Amino acid sequence: MPDAFAFARAPRDRLNAGGSLVVISPHLDDAVFSCGSLLARRPGSTVVTVFTGVPEDSSVLTQWDRDCGFTSAGQAMQERMEENRRALAALRAEDRALGLLDCQYLECPDAAMPQLTEALLSTLQDLSPDAVALPLGLFHGDHIRVSDAALLIWETWPQMAWFLYEDAPYRAQPGAVQQRLVQLHARGLVLTPANFLGDPAAKAEAIAAYPTQIKGFNGLLGDLAGPERYWRLSSGEEGA
């Protein structure tokens, strides 16, 4: 397994060629919305999508699912899975679905944190990648929970190269990124900007595979065309 520092500090072209990459995606669009340009330059990467489960009562209809044009949770998840399949195929990325429930289908999402952490740990152990990209954890409760769960795993598996990506489109909210960086700094984490080559045109094509999600955001997705931003994760003790 490549040294984490070597992976983070290598020339940009080598970053796009070496090492296996896993991108942890809370929902069926987040990896492409936030990391699609990078994924396009790293074919064969794996996207691990956490919240892909269908509630026991598949006929339930939440406001978000209604806004996206669906009539039930079952229909919503079936169509979202198909949209995600098309988008990842366009980027030549592999798909791994964990089958957990989106917070909109749960009364107490925080109660599922142990299950979430265990599912992520088991999946990463199985895939054994050279590098992991996880959400910074902005605004949305599901994004924060996935980020926090992945950070718990990082604490026990620091020898891998870990990066956080800025969650699009939530990163566009004033102060959202800064607030989260302050929180993580208070935990003793060191975040250093990391640059990667990407393919914005391929990302734009993949984003177009999510018409229902685009409808739900009601035109508020201008941020997706902006440059992707990543942070390399380390502890305060590294390199001391």
- Predicted model pTM: 0.88
Which residue would you say has higher pLDDT here, 174 or 111? 174
SS (H, E, C) 142-154: HHHHHHHHHHHHH
- Listed by start position, the domains of the chain span 4-235
The fraction of the chain above a pLDDT of 90, given in percent, is 61
Whether pLDDT at 7 is above 50: no
- Read off the pLDDT band of 218 (50, 70, 90): low
Which residue would you say has higher pLDDT here, 81 or 225? 81
Least confident of 24-38, 55-69, 77-91, 134-148: 55-69
pLDDT confidence of residue 240: 43
Per-residue pLDDT tens over the stretch 139-175: 888 999 999 999 999 988 877 899 999 999 889 889 9
Pairing verdict, β 131-135 and 161-165: parallel
Whether pLDDT at 220 is above 60: no
Per-residue pLDDT tens over the stretch 17-49: 468 999 999 999 999 999 999 999 999 999 999
Type of residue numbered 87:
A
Q: How far apart are CA 43 and CA 39, in angstroms?
A: 6
Long-range contact pairs involving 171-174 (C-beta distance under 8 Å, separation at least 24)? 171/136, 171/138, 171/223, 171/229, 172/222, 172/223, 173/138, 173/139
Type of residue numbered 109:
P
- Read off the pLDDT band of 236 (50, 70, 90): low
pLDDT confidence of residue 94: 96
Tell me which CATH homologous superfamily contains domain 4-235: LmbE-like (3.40.50.10320)
Per-residue pLDDT tens over the stretch 175-216: 999 999 999 999 999 999 998 999 999 999 999 999 888 876
Residue 194 C-alpha from the chain's centroid: 16
